[in-house]
Amino acid sequence: MAPRASYTPSPARIDREWPHQVALPDDMCCDHNFGLIAAFCRDNSLHFHTRRVQAVWPNGRYQDMRLHCFAKREKAELFQSRFGGEFFNPADREGGRRGWWPRSGVWTRLLESGPLKVPAILRD
C-alpha cells in the first residue's frame, strides 16, 4: 500500500473533524461537474475533503458515492442546497470506517441533481 501524502488526512480524521458530509453519486462528480463544484466551493469559501462510500440497497443494487465533508453544518447545508445530495452520517457505515452504507427503499439511478448531470459517456 502506498503511503498517504502528508497533506491528506486519514479517513478517521476526516470523519472526526469534517463530520458534516453530503453524498452525491460518484459519476456525477467528474468531468465538467468537477469544475462546477470546485468553482462554487472556491467562490463561497467552502473548504472540504472528499471520501467515498458504497451505498447498498436491499435488492443488491449498489452505487459508489462521493462524500463532500465539511467542518461546519452550515457549510454542508450551503453545498447541499446548491448541488442536492443526501446528508451522510459516518456512524451509519456498516463494517467499520471503510464499510458500506446500507440504504432502504428501492434504488433508482440519479442522472441530475441541481446543476449537475451525469456525463453522457457514463449514462446507460
pLDDT at 8 over 90: no
CB proximity list for 20: less than 8 A, separation 6 or greater:
69, 70, 71, 72, 73, 75, 76, 87
How open is the CA angle 59-64-65, to the nearest 5 degrees? Answer: 115
Confidence of residue 2 (pLDDT cuts 50, 70, 90): low
Identity at 44, one-letter amino acid code: N
At 89, list the grid cell. 452520517
Residue with cell 467515498: 52
Q: Are 65 and 45 in contact (CB under 8 A)?
A: no
Please tell me the distance from the alpha carbon of residue 103 to that of residue 1, in angstroms, as a whole number: 30
What pLDDT digit, counting tens, does each position of 67-124 carry?
999 999 999 999 999 999 999 999 999 877 678 999 999 988 889 999 999 998 888 6
Q: What is the mean pLDDT of residues 45-64?
A: 94
Rounded to two decimals, the pTM is 0.89
- pLDDT of amino acid 122: 86
pLDDT at 1 over 60: no
Q: What is the mean pLDDT of residues 41-56?
A: 95
Confidence of residue 6 (pLDDT cuts 50, 70, 90): low
Give the DSSP H or E segment for 20. Answer: strand 20-25
pLDDT at 42 over 70: yes
- pLDDT of amino acid 95: 78
Sign of the CA dihedral with 14 first, then 18, 24, and 28 last: negative
Top pLDDT among 54 and 96 is at 54
